[in-house]
Amino acid sequence: MKRVVLIGLRADVVDYEKWPELSKEKLESAFQRVLEELTQSGYDAHWCLTDTGDTAEAQVTEALQKVNPDVVLVGAGVRTDPDHFLLFEKVINLIHQHAPNAAIAFNSLPFDSVEAVQRWS
């Protein structure tokens, strides 16, 4: 069973003006659906939902060390928002440090996370 860590922003820290197709409720529902779909597809999947500040580094490090993933997905909210450039940079370096053999995948919205993981597993 392939192990997956999905790294994203907690629904309560997302700027929904930048993501008009999402709402807190839609995002939280998508998080649950992605986890269910990956589990049903035979993955051992874990979300690492973080804030945009100082605790993000510790949260990501803990998740990577605990799961020892085969694939790490970095969500679009972390990756594409210029306001989170430094967070994205930290996340990539943490993956490199704590899960150097893991494939890295990217989604465009939470709704295509399963396909992103499947591309690299």
| Residue bearing the bigger pLDDT, 110 or 24 | 24
Mean pLDDT, the chain, integer: 95
Non-local (6+) Cβ contacts of 48 within 8 A are 5, 6, 7, 8, 59, 60, 62, 63, 64
Count structural domains, the chain: 1
- CATH number at 103 reads 3.40.50
pLDDT of amino acid 115: 95
pLDDT of amino acid 31: 94
pLDDT of amino acid 53: 84
In three-state form (DSSP H/G/I as H, E/B as E, the rest C), the secondary structure along 28-64 is: HHHHHHHHHHHHHCCCEEEEEEECCCCCHHHHHHHHH
pLDDT tens, 62-99? 999 999 999 999 999 999 999 999 999 999 999 999 99
The stretch 47-59 carries a mean pLDDT of 93
Residue 21 domain boundaries = 3-119
Say which DSSP state 118 is in.
H
| Residue bearing the bigger pLDDT, 98 or 110 | 98
pLDDT of amino acid 85: 94
pTM of the model: 0.94
